[in-house]
A = this chain, B = another copy of it.
């Protein structure tokens, strides 16, 4: 199944067939292009895409190369809040080489190569640098993390708890033993074991690989941010399709939903100062030095005035979900670590998302207080087993940056998708692109005298908007 897919899509996706396997290290990066390579925009088109006044929606042209699975994509630039579109996207098919096999050309008996499909959305802030870098490299980090697992994941027996772990230390010629042989040689397998052993699933190895790939990506941004001039940070939403399962990894406030037979299945949750309040307060409580004597880890429903000292104010501590009154003390006059509600909630009055990549230099305005310790680069990974359900061509996975979801809710997105798909034959591959296009147009709105407006006259999204519509049982079917 996978072999067929790879061969098929390798002809569609630029230069990433079996002959051009990706390598994370030693590959010089092309200079950052402002928009996803798969859009193949000409320089005139690029200029148009960057026009804040017109806000032309960009989609892959019909005449050009089609995305894997006939994935639909569309994007539009913001209404002027930043010079460039700070959203970035990536869509690739990636072949995973075994860790120890650069010089090992034969396949171990019966073991196949591993390949995964990948979609990524990156919503940058304070510059597009981190988003551009992550859009070009995160899938390679995932690939790198999967290298140890190529044979393990294709073996139906439970993953070995312990591996020889010699791959990086021995010279290459001693390093050729495929896993099957290496396993047999493992002395610990023959020894009496401690009684207790936890079973670990194949699925949880993929989750661990994706989690660690995000960490490595973040470390690389930290290391290379000076030389690559990477400013700011980005939310990251990545989807990996591997061996029949869809892994949705989210770090930030983008969102993924599956629409199946009209039903909405949430595939992510947003990480914001409100949803991560307790984790952040717990850290501030345990490491008060990170608060720089300017912030309190307690939450209050509003700022406290000095003259209110001695009164009782509602508060929430790190281990509380409810509110209670406390007598106001001097320390409570500091600014709350988490403050504000909804889209206006901020960590240390600065940032409105609590997970993502980058932001290594982010400080509280006019201070030396670092915010990065409170941010996490680790995604939450949700798994959807594609083989457990017979999908029809109208079943899709929708990925969108917050520009989409701020003005269009899950139900409305599902309705727009349904409406568009109904207008096209089930086997028309362009229907998913039209759906993505329509989602972006309807969230952006139309320019009127008083700004970008939706049909109901509410404000459209002034943010960058990027949307993938991925068919789960359509014409580009993976099976």
How far, in angstroms, from A159 to B312 measured CA to CA in the complex?
12
Instruction: Assess the B211–A319 pair: CB atoms within 8 A.
Output: yes
Q: Kindly list chain B residues whose C-beta atoms are within 8 Å of the C-beta of A341.
A: 196, 198
Check if A228 is an interface residue, CB within 8 A of chain B.
no
The answer to whether A198 and B302 touch (CB under 8 A), given A207-B321, A322-B210, is: yes
Nearest chain B CB to A318's CB is how many angstroms away? 9
User: Given B164, B302, B324, which contacts A209 in the complex, CB threshold below 8 Å?
Assistant: B324
User: Given B287, B308, B381, which contacts A286 in the complex, CB threshold below 8 Å?
Assistant: B287
Most buried by B among A187, A283, A305, A312: A312
Instruction: Assess the B301–A188 pair: CB atoms within 8 A.
Output: no
Chain A to chain B contacts (Cβ below 8 Å), 27 pairs: A145-B324, A148-B312, A161-B301, A163-B311, A163-B325, A165-B312, A193-B302, A194-B303, A196-B303, A196-B341, A196-B344, A197-B301, A198-B302, A200-B301, A200-B314, A204-B322, A204-B323, A205-B324, A207-B321, A208-B324, A209-B322, A209-B324, A211-B322, A211-B324, A283-B286, A319-B376, A319-B378
Check if A313 is an interface residue, CB within 8 A of chain B.
yes
CB nearest to A339 among chain B residues: B196
Instruction: Assess the A188–B308 pair: CB atoms within 8 A.
Output: yes
The answer to whether A164 and B314 touch (CB under 8 A), given A204-B322, A321-B204, is: no
Interface string of A29-50 (1 = CB under 8 A from B): 0000000000000000000000
Q: Kindly list chain B residues whose C-beta atoms are within 8 Å of the C-beta of A199.
A: 301
Q: Kindly list chain B residues whose C-beta atoms are within 8 Å of the C-beta of A302.
A: 161, 193-194, 196-198
Check if A162 is an interface residue, CB within 8 A of chain B.
yes
CB nearest to A197 among chain B residues: B302
Instruction: Assess the B321–A211 pair: CB atoms within 8 A.
Output: yes
User: Given B169, B187, B381, which contacts A321 in the complex, CB threshold below 8 Å?
Assistant: B381
Nearest chain B CB to A239's CB is how many angstroms away? 16
CB nearest to A302 among chain B residues: B197
Check if A206 is an interface residue, CB within 8 A of chain B.
yes
Interface string of A192-224 (1 = CB under 8 A from B): 011011111000111111111000000000000
Check if A320 is an interface residue, CB within 8 A of chain B.
yes
How far, in angstroms, from A282 to B209 measured CA to CA in the complex?
20
Check if A24 is an interface residue, CB within 8 A of chain B.
no
Nearest chain B CB to A190's CB is how many angstroms away? 12
Nearest chain B CB to A198's CB is how many angstroms away? 4
Most buried by B among A207, A212, A325: A325
Check if A340 is an interface residue, CB within 8 A of chain B.
yes
Nearest chain B CB to A155's CB is how many angstroms away? 15
The answer to whether A165 and B327 touch (CB under 8 A), given A204-B321, A204-B322, A321-B207, is: yes
Instruction: Assess the B208–A313 pair: CB atoms within 8 A.
Output: no
Q: Kindly list chain B residues whose C-beta atoms are within 8 Å of the C-beta of A313.
A: 161-163
Q: Kindly list chain B residues whose C-beta atoms are within 8 Å of the C-beta of A287.
A: 286
How far, in angstroms, from A197 to B300 measured CA to CA in the complex?
9
Nearest chain B CB to A92's CB is how many angstroms away? 21
Q: Kindly list chain B residues whose C-beta atoms are within 8 Å of the C-beta of A286.
A: 283, 286-287
Instruction: Assess the B208–A322 pair: CB atoms within 8 A.
Output: yes
- A residues 165-194 near B (Cβ < 8 Å) are 165, 169, 187-188, 191, 193-194
Q: Kindly list chain B residues whose C-beta atoms are within 8 Å of the C-beta of A165.
A: 310-312, 325, 327-328
Interface string of A367-385 (1 = CB under 8 A from B): 0000000001010110000
Nearest chain B CB to A307's CB is how many angstroms away? 8
CB nearest to A199 among chain B residues: B301
